[in-house]
């Protein structure tokens, strides 16, 4: 029995992605074999392809998110049963495949109301939005928040969810077209480009600035983002789409008003099964009640993952993207 997978044998551009036959794995104790119906595309897939994030070994199957059906389980699995519709997000790598094995404790059951494509699109980006808005910083009604890449995968979910929590959302995007998309999903204000970011935020907040910035762009926006914070504000640097943030001089945080800085990851916030289930349940609730509508704006065959990654890297995608095996 073999499985089709997108693997890399070396780091590099999209051309290193190879569509290959690999042996179908068997679930060991505590593991489940999933037949994927849809796989989520995420920016982290690009970091692992380029080598910005180190893969544990090569060759390796990329991908951190999927939705499908449990085909087999190993000894001692209590979380899921054969035939269950399930979804997951997070390590280890291996989602870009028709089938994979994963620890059953990393799986959650997908509600019947959520189709596989939506499930694969929302787990990683949506659980990230959940912890960013509820735990990294607890957004309260009446606050104004700044969200970078607001028309992107995480960005559109953050935008809708922050608005649902009663916040005023200022989104940042690179084009007018993306500004329209962010507005259509609830951004109250959208700033196009970073050139005069702090001036724009000052104008929109009447000089108060914002208590939190959600920055996934990294190198190109870090400095501008700090300038948008109110005293004691929190800089949440959660991604590096433009490249990693260079080392930060701590005194900058003092000079700009006793700022706080964090670099969070989904892995930390969902490390325990209890946290994973709580975060996923919260996400299913806001998707189920319609507060957050997952925008699957691009779909590619899994075999064309390279084209999908090229589009994401070149800023040609909006919302979420799924790969169909």
**Residues that contact ligand NDP, how many (by CB under 6 A):** 30
Rounded to 5 degrees, φ, ψ at 12 are 160, -155
264 binds ligand NDP (CB under 6 A): yes
241 binds ligand NDP (CB under 6 A): yes
Each residue 94-133 as x (binds ligand NDP by CB under 6 A) or -, in order, gives ------------------------------xx--x-----
Beta strands in 130-273 (DSSP E): 144-147, 168-173, 189-192, 210-215, 229-237, 260-262
Cα-Cα-Cα-Cα dihedral sign, residues 95, 100, 103, 106 = positive
305 binds ligand NDP (CB under 6 A): no
Placement of tokens 């077209």 in the chain: 177
DSSP states along 55-92 = -SSSSEE--SEEEEEEEEE-TT--S--TT-EEEEESSS
Q: Which is nearer to ligand NDP, 73 or 150 (CB)?
A: 150
Task: Figure out which of the listed residues 87, 114, 197, 266 binds ligand NDP, where binding follows CB under 6 A.
Answer: 266
220 binds ligand NDP (CB under 6 A): yes
Compute the C-alpha angle 66/81/269, nearest 5°.
45
Q: Which is nearer to ligand NDP, 34 or 190 (CB)?
A: 190
174 binds ligand NDP (CB under 6 A): yes
88 binds ligand NDP (CB under 6 A): no
- Which secondary structure element, helix H or strand E, spans residue 124, and what is its range? helix 116-131
CB of residue 246 to ligand NDP, shortest distance in Å: 15
**Can you tell me the distance from the alpha carbon of 222 to that of 235, in angstroms, rounded to the nearest whole number?**
9
Q: Which is nearer to ligand NDP, 175 or 281 (CB)?
A: 175
**Can you tell me the distance from the alpha carbon of 209 to that of 228, in angstroms, rounded to the nearest whole number?**
6
227 binds ligand NDP (CB under 6 A): no
Token representation of residue 125: 């980006």
Task: Figure out which of the listed residues 119, 152, 186, 200 binds ligand NDP, where binding follows CB under 6 A.
Answer: 152
Residues in the chain: 325
CB of residue 154 to ligand NDP, shortest distance in Å: 4
Token representation of residue 312: 């994401």
30: region left, alpha or beta (phi > 0 left; psi from -120 to 50 alpha):
left
From the list 17-25, 37-45, 248-256, 276-284, the region that binds ligand NDP by CB under 6 A is 37-45
CB of residue 2 to ligand NDP, shortest distance in Å: 29
Q: Which is nearer to ligand NDP, 72 or 324 (CB)?
A: 324
Return residues touching ligand NDP (CB under 6 A): 42-44, 124-125, 128, 149, 151-155, 173-174, 178, 216-217, 220, 238-242, 264-266, 312-313, 315, 317
């Amino acid at each position: 029995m073999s499985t089709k997978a997108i693997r890399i044998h070396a780091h590099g551009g999209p051309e290193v992605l190879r569509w290959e036959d690999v042996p179908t794995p068997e679930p060991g104790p505590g593991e489940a074999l999933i037949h994927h119906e849809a796989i989520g595309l995420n920016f982290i897939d690009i970091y692992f392809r380029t080598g910005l994030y180190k893969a544990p070994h090569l060759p390796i199957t990329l991908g951190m998110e999927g939705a499908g059906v449990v085909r087999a389980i190993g000894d001692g699995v209590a979380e899921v049963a054969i035939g269950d519709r399930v979804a997951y997000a997070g390590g280890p790598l291996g989602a870009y495949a028709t089938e994979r094995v994963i620890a059953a404790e990393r799986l959650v059951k997908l509600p019947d109301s959520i189709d596989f494509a939506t499930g694969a699109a929302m787990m990683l980006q949506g659980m990230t939005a959940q912890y960013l808005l509820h735990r990294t910083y607890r957004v309260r009604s009446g606050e104004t928040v700044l969200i970078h890449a607001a028309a992107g995968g995480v960005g559109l979910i953050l935008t809708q969810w922050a608005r649902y929590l009663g916040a005023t959302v200022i989104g940042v995007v690179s084009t007018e077209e993306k500004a329209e998309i962010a507005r259509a999903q609830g951004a109250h204000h959208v700033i196009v480009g970073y050139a005069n970011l702090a001036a724009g935020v000052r104008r929109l907040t009447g000089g108060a600035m914002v208590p939190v910035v959600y920055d996934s762009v990294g190198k190109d926006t870090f400095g501008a983002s700090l300038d948008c914070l109110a005293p004691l504000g929190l800089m949440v640097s959660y991604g590096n789409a433009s490249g990693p943030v260079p080392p930060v001089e701590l005194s900058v945080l003092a000079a700009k008003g006793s700022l706080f800085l964090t670099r969070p990851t989904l892995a930390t916030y969902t490390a325990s099964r209890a946290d994973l289930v709580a975060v996923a349940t919260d996400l299913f609730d806001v998707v189920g009640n319609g507060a957050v509508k997952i925008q699957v704006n691009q779909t590619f065959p899994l075999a064309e993952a390279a084209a999908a990654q090229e589009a994401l890297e070149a800023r040609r995608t909006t919302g979420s993207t799924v790969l169909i095996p």
